[in-house]
Amino acid sequence: MPPAHVLIVEDDTEIATLLARYLGERGHVVSTAADGTGMDAALAATPCDIVLLDIMLPGESGLSLCQRVRASQPVGIIMVTALTEPTDRVAGLDAGADDYICKPFDLEELEARIRALIRRRDAGAAPGADVTLHFADHQFQPQRRLLRTPAGIRVSLTGAETDLLLAFCQHPQAVLSREQLIEWTRGEPAVVPGRVIDLLVSRLRRKLSPDGPASEFIQTARTGGYLFRHPVLSR
């Protein structure tokens, strides 16, 4: 796997230096920025593969920066947060992040998450990956993070929602455990509370069926986990 260009957006100089040294020693190209202004300058100067983005930054928050980057840059985003509640983590994913990691974190785990994100993005860029999936008169384009309803309404999806819906579409009408969904959406086994998956499922249900029953598309299994109720066709 080729090295990634990682932009670290972190206002703590000691942490930024430690991360830059560690990732650099593992072959990655590393840039750093202390706030949103520095991030904008770094992205304008050199294309990046991954943005490692702290949530608590001076000035514009990491969540706001994430939304801005996601709207304008085709880069992977890993949020870094000291907040441990599932709702806080989901907020980062809802802002458009591809993954998140909580402080304090293990450096090897961080680098593993970077590698996993690169693998997922490379797989998505493979020939034939930009397909349209069809179910219950809906159209789902994973590469564009776009869902189109039977009425033709375009529904934007976050990175986490896209990964989750894609996992369901790849295993339709089968009960998937929370552990399976965590592994398939994060790219490799990770320590993620099952409550995070529950919250993401709840958000995805509302986008799939804003006026219908919660279980119209995704049913909660009695044995635990979830089942996507509709067959899926690829075109």
Task: Read off the pTM.
Answer: 0.68
Q: What is the pLDDT of residues 3-49, one digit of tens each?
A: 789 999 999 999 999 999 999 999 999 999 999 999 999 999 988 99
The range of the structural domain enclosing residue 157 comes to 133-234
Q: What is the pLDDT of residues 117-135, one digit of tens each?
A: 887 666 554 444 468 999 9
Together in a domain, 118 and 144: no
Q: How far apart are CA 13 and CA 6, in angstroms?
A: 16
3-state secondary structure of 233: strand
Q: For residues 40-66, b (16+ Cβ closer than 10 Å) or e, as one string?
A: bebbeeeebbbbbbbbebeeeebbebb
Sorted by sequence, the CB contacts under 8 Å of residue 98 that are 6+ apart come out as 76, 77, 78, 117, 120, 159, 160, 163
Together in a domain, 98 and 14: yes
Strands across the sheet with 5-9, in order?
A: 29-33, 5-9, 50-54, 76-81, 99-102
Together in a domain, 80 and 166: no
3-state secondary structure of 97: coil
Q: In the numeric block, which tokens belong to residue 62?
A: 């990491």
Listed residue (163, 214, 155, 216) closest to 192, CA to CA: 163
CATH number of the domain encompassing residue 29:
3.40.50.2300
Together in a domain, 203 and 221: yes
